[in-house]
Amino acid sequence: MAISTTSFLFKFFTFTLSLWVLLGSSSGQLSANFYARTCPNFRSITTRAVNSAVSSEARMGASLLRLHFHDCFVNGCDASVLLDDTANFTGEKTAGPNSNSLRGFNVIDTIKTQLERQCAGVVSCADILSAAARDSVVALGGPSWNLVFGRRDSTTASLSAANSNLPSPASSLNALISSFSNQGFTANEMVALSGSHSIGQARCTTFRNRLNNDNNINSSFATSLRANCPTSGGDNNLAPLDASPASFDNRYFNDLQTQRGLLHSDQELFNGGTTDAQVRTYGSNSATFARDFASAMVKMANLSPLTGSNGQVRTNCRRTN
């Protein structure tokens, strides 16, 4: 039986479109429009959930930003940080920099659940992390940046890499520069990314050594911290990372210039070293900081992503499929 030209063209177009959508979901190429056809509500669902979480607790914005950072600095942006330990698997959550410290997993779970209802098996947890980090900064008054998507989720994690790759709050300037350099960042980009401490809080245990041993710390600042961090039983008390912890701004860099950096690693950025000038620049020009921070975040979100057949799209971000 003869096939009409119109019928042939329709079938060819339908096959081509289906193939294009399939390739758009599994190719190794990251794209700003990766989910345009397969999950068009990806951004609105993520943004709405992040805004709701941050509205309930401003600190959650900082937690989601930090969660993205702790993922990407350990073998790339692959959502390995989200994997729970099992009887046969050890993830990264119990690493020194993460244990009893990382937060926001429930927000990622909420976003994933909502996305699975609308477009099951399509959006990766790694892409959710990158989008949630950006939306968190925006929700707290910071800059936005353009992201590309199509990352896959890892089926492995590395406790040892989490323990070695993430900089410590006790890091020296040279150690910070080296840690970020290992991930391909310049010293200037390291300073810009350190501005993430414009938001959020830290536990007393992370800065007690600076409080007790740094003679240059601002005296009134130290007095206030000591009242909030008693030597007995106060390790888990919280203190703001800068004077405006619920607002993403450049106050952090001005605090450093008056010896009010909360963490030792913060104050190292302004301590007579090579990054002093950049701290002054960001402290006096919020637009320059916002621009540089956004640019560095784009670079961080693209650290060694898994794409195509290298990885999977987890149905549950806490475990492999």
Could you say which DSSP state residue 202 is in? E
* 68 tagged catalytic: no
Record the tokens describing residue 60, joined without a space.
């959650």
- Around Cβ 113, how many Cβ atoms within 10 Å? 12
Contact 97, 70 (CB under 8 A): yes
Could you say which DSSP state residue 269 is in? G
Which residues face 89 on adjacent strands? Answer: 86
Cβ-count burial of 43 within 10 angstroms (0-12 exposed, 13-18 middle, 19+ buried)? middle
- Around Cβ 71, how many Cβ atoms within 10 Å? 29
- CA–CA gap between residue 29 and residue 304 (Å, rounded): 13
Contact 256, 279 (CB under 8 A): yes
- Around Cβ 302, how many Cβ atoms within 10 Å? 17
Residue 201 dihedral angles phi and psi, to the nearest 5°: -135, 165
- Nearest alpha-carbon partner for 275 in 266, 286, 288, 284: 266
Contact 278, 253 (CB under 8 A): no
Contact 229, 172 (CB under 8 A): no
Catalytic residue among 68, 70, 197, 264: 70
Record the tokens describing residue 213, joined without a space.
């041993």
- Around Cβ 220, how many Cβ atoms within 10 Å? 10
Please give the positions annotated as active site: 70
